[in-house]
Amino acid sequence: MDRQKRGAPSLARRIILGLVVLQALVELITLVAEPIASGRLSLRQWLAAEQASQLVAESLGRKETGELAFVPTPEMTGYLKANPDFWFFASDGTELLRGGVSQPRFERGADGERVDPRQGSMFNLDTAVGQVSVMLGGQHGEFLDSAWAWLRDRLWRRLIDLAIAAVGVTMVIVPAVQFLLRPVRRAARAAMALEPGQSAPALPVQGVPAEILPLVSATNAAFARLEREHNRQRQFIANAAHELRTPIAILGIRLDELPEGRVKQRLRLDVRRLTMLANQLLDLQRLQHGGAAPPDRAIDMVALVRDVAAEMGPLVIDGGGNLSFCTARPQLKVVGDEQALRGVFHNLIGNALAHGGKGVKIEVHIDADGTIVVADRGVGFRAEDHERVFEAFQRATSGEGAAGAGLGLYIVREVLAARGAQIELRDGRPGAVFRIRF
């Protein structure tokens, strides 16, 4: 799941990336539009004015009295030498500073001398000495030089803007996406907990964004279809197992007509095995369907296991074996279906009998921590079969050959899993050791 997650594209990242690219485009367009929008000046002149304004901004200082002063930088000095026509006014709002080599043409008007604003370009600059309005004119410049000066100044500012925008967008988008996708995560959790056999409907659709809703709805519909088919199959198995019982019963009774002998003895065992298989199939169906199962209640496993040991005792003794039980706890309460849990230990002890060989020694004990152990000193299972023995119809081979239908241990694990219990098979050196933890 995590591995898939790493490869999958992030929605938030894509939205953020999209917005940042959009912002960058807007910035670029405004950048390019700037010289075009200026209109009155040619591009060359406009760029030269930009360059000059930067030089002026860098060359402004203040006297001790606080008045605005012209402190030309080396670049400014060089620029003035190269541009005899250059002039500028700078004002911080309280006083006016004049500078440059030449002077603009003054015109005499009704209210005194004034400079035609069309002769120069106006700038509002952020400088080291504060906000300053600058008017300048007579500028000349190398096209590439001035273009580079302009770009350097603007790009830097735009990049800072862009970075701020990116951080802002991220801070808004990431939680927003997380928030909006809450219903999707809820649906995912529901999907994770989904088990065959549970009653509809699989995933909650409430609050799921409309864009994602079709996926959730389609998933629900798919689950419903699978569930229907699953039910049909399960019902089929149940019916098949059920229908098998009558012919097996008839077979068992007809067998009685045969004369006693080895063949009859063997056939009887075969019928017993068929019976067991049909019953196991039904048990399994009941277990998975859960319909007619009696309600779970608290069961004392100490008493239950001892009881089953007693029930299996005659079989063990008849086989020349022995069985012992001991417990480190007076009680072990477990909530569950008593019949099914009994079946678990019937199966495990039966399994030990089948695989333990003649004169098998079976030890059942309950540890202080509630682990229930069923161990035999038989030939055990091959290590590579330790997981496989719990699979349906997998008959793990042991030295004695296998007995029983391949459903017993599968049912055992299913019953225990339904109770949240685990079972594992270990090597008893020699023998098989089943450990159950509730």
Partner 1 sequence: MRILLVEDEIELAAALRGTLNRRGYVVDHVRTLEQARLALQEPGVRAVLLDRRLPDGDGLSLLPFMRATADPPPVIVLTALGQTVERVEGLDAGADDYLAKPFELDELLARLRAVSRRRAGLTPEPLTLGALSFDAVHREAQIDGRPLQLPRRELALLDLLLRRAGRVVLRETIEAAMFGFDDAPASNTLDSHVSRLRRRLAKRGAGVAIHALRGVGYMAKAE
Q: How far apart are CA 47 and CA 53, in angstroms?
A: 10
Give me the least distance between CB of 426 and partner 1, in Å please.
21
Distances (CA, A) of 393 to 231, 376, 415: 21, 22, 16
Least distance CB 193 / partner 1 (angstroms): 28
Closest to partner 1 by CB, 230 vs 264, is: 264
| CA-CA-CA-CA torsion sign (42, 45, 51, 54) | negative
Q: How far is the CB of 260 from partner 1 (least distance, A)?
A: 13
CB 406 to partner 1: min, Å: 20
Which residue, 158 or 377, is less far from partner 1 as judged by CB? Answer: 377
For CA atoms 82, 86, 92, 96, the dihedral sign is positive
CB of 224 to partner 1, least distance (A): 29
Of 217 and 279, nearer to partner 1 (C-beta) is 279
| Cβ distance to partner 1 smaller for residue 213 or 373 | 373
Nearest approach in angstroms of CB 314 to partner 1 is 6
Phi, psi of 49 (to 5 degrees): -65, -40
Among 121, 163, 109, residue whose Cα is nearest residue 35: 121
Strands 60-62 and 68-70, sheet pairing = antiparallel
The whole-angstrom separation of Cα 396 and Cα 434 is 15
Nearest distance, CB of residue 286 and partner 1, angstroms = 7
- 259: which 2 tokens? 């004369």
Nearer to partner 1, 2 or 257 (CB): 257
> Which CB, 204 or 319, lies closer to partner 1?
319
103/235 with CB nearer partner 1? 235
Provide, rounded to whole angstroms, the least separation between the CB of residue 251 and partner 1.
8
Tell me the pairing of strands 106-109 and 96-100. unpaired
Q: How far is the CB of 299 from partner 1 (least distance, A)?
A: 13
Minimum CB distance to partner 1 smaller for 157 or for 254:
254
Binding site residues, partner 1, CB under 8 A = 242, 245-246, 248-257, 271-272, 274-275, 278-279, 282, 286, 292, 294, 306-307, 309-311, 313-314, 316-317, 322-327, 339
Sign of CA dihedral 385, 386, 390, 391: negative
When the beta carbons of 305 and 421 are compared against partner 1, the nearer one is 305
DSSP-H helix ranges across 139-261: 143-180, 182-192, 213-255
Report residue 382: phi and psi, to 5°: -70, 145
Q: Which residues are within 8 A (CB) of 363 and not within 5 positions of it... i.e. 6 or more apart?
A: 323, 324, 325, 373, 374, 375, 376, 377
* Cα–chain center distance at 398: 43
Burial degree of 426 (CB within 10 A; 0-12, 13-18, 19+): middle
CB closer to partner 1 out of 16 and 323: 323
Count Cα neighbours of 106 within 13 Å in the Cβ-side half-sphere.
Answer: 8
Q: Are 433 and 427 in contact (CB under 8 A)?
A: yes
Minimum CB distance to partner 1 smaller for 2 or for 260: 260
Q: What is the rounded CA–CA span in Å between residue 66 and residue 431?
A: 100
At closest approach, how far in Å is the CB of 249 from partner 1? 4
Please say which residue, 142 or 338, places its beta carbon nearer to partner 1.
338
Shortest reach from residue 405's CB to partner 1, in Å? 14
Shortest gap between Cβ of 310 and partner 1 (angstroms)?
A: 4
Q: Which of 360, 267, 280 is nearest to 312 (CA)?
A: 360
